[in-house]
Amino acid sequence: MSARHDLLFLLWMIQLSCVFNFTAADCECGYSSTIGSSTMDYVFTDLLESDFLHIANISLDTDWRPQSYNVTAEASRGAYGTAFSVPNVVSNPIANMASFSGPGSLGGDPGLQFLVDGGIPKSGYVGCAEMDSARTDMLWGTYRAAMKLTPVPGTVSAFFWYFNDSMEIDMEFLSEQWVFENNTFPVNLVLQSTASVAAGYNAAGTGNYVVTNLPFNPTDGYHEYRIDFIPGNVIFYGDGTVLAHMNTSAVPTMAGHLILTQWSNGNPLWSYGPPATAAIMTVSYVKAYFNSSLLERQTAWEMRCKDGNALNAICPIPDQTTAPSVLNTTDNTTALPYFFSNDDNKTANQTVYHSLGLAVVKRGETWFAQPLVFTIFLLILLLLL
């Protein structure tokens, strides 16, 4: 056999090893976490990890969709309407991909900024910001976002899971409340349900609404806000501390998506405002580990998970028990966030955003594992040999 044929044979063997995945990948059966006080591990098959400290342009990230729409004052039940616009979602990454130290490229706190315009709007609409996950197949899971909230009174900042107005899991932060609460920091934890919709979207009398104080100042830096969502149960956390546990029939049963937002409409019973000056909420990451409602994702998991008891087949999800830092600290092992997608071989068959590129790639595969790309490569090689 000629040297040319030897080379072609070797390349085809590499291609086959990639396509048929002869070597097992870590985490091929999923990602596990304890939920609330349970000693039992829950296993989630899919993940979405977004390191906003190092994503240069959120409009190029197909995992997320900045929103553009208006809501009238009447529809929003406020003194003003809300105008959600793409320019109010601003990427402010750290230039050095290997660094977790600020500031961002625009100055100030690095990450993804959600801006609410300051002052009385001449148009009658307050400029606001919202971003939704592209995936809408998120069912049971553990959903986590690291955010630094605004100290400017008059906005609502929120991290929530959403299917529709009667199936919604909210963590909402009213910056106006902090002014009047004697230096405490309430968070509003809400399950929207058919009962709250019937009450005019007011969950206060449904038993699925809890106001509790955060164990930290949410404006002094990034803190992780977490929602664990399993059948019949929702648990809310702040930096790993349980804030509330809701065990109720109001827990959603359909798959949904994630939303990050900051807004104001001048409603004196909720958002207050608009803020006197521009208010910025900054997000450093979102990490979601969940079970997909899509048949193709379930089938993909069944194909790759051959032995759930194999070594490293299921990877434990590290809990963030301290405030996630964007600065160098003396305890980086707990302060700096961990991403499976930054490690080789831990996201096989998972679609994750590549922070260095402009498109979605599948970690656990090399570029030549794509049959069309590899065929073109071979044809070029044949011409050169």
Dihedral pair phi/psi, residue 270, rounded to 5°: -145, -85
- The Cα 181–Cα 28 span in angstroms is 47
Burial profile 265-296: b = 16 or more Cβ within 10 angstroms, e = fewer: bbbeebbbbbbeeebbbbbbbbbbbbbbeeee
* pLDDT per residue of the chain (385 residues) written in tens, 0 to 9: 555 555 555 444 444 444 444 445 799 999 999 887 777 899 999 999 999 999 989 988 889 999 999 999 999 899 999 999 999 999 999 988 778 877 899 999 999 999 999 999 999 999 999 999 999 999 999 999 999 999 999 999 999 999 998 999 999 999 998 766 677 899 999 998 888 888 777 777 778 899 999 999 999 999 999 999 999 999 999 999 999 999 988 899 999 999 999 999 999 999 999 999 999 999 999 999 999 999 999 999 999 998 888 889 999 999 998 899 765 444 444 567 889 988 878 988 887 765 444 434 444 333 333 444 445 555 565 566 6
In this prediction, residue 136 carries a pLDDT of 97
pTM of the complete model: 0.85
- Which sequence spans correspond to the domains of the chain? 32-292
CATH of domain 32-292: 2.60.120.200
- The Cα 278–Cα 116 span in angstroms is 6
In this prediction, residue 360 carries a pLDDT of 43
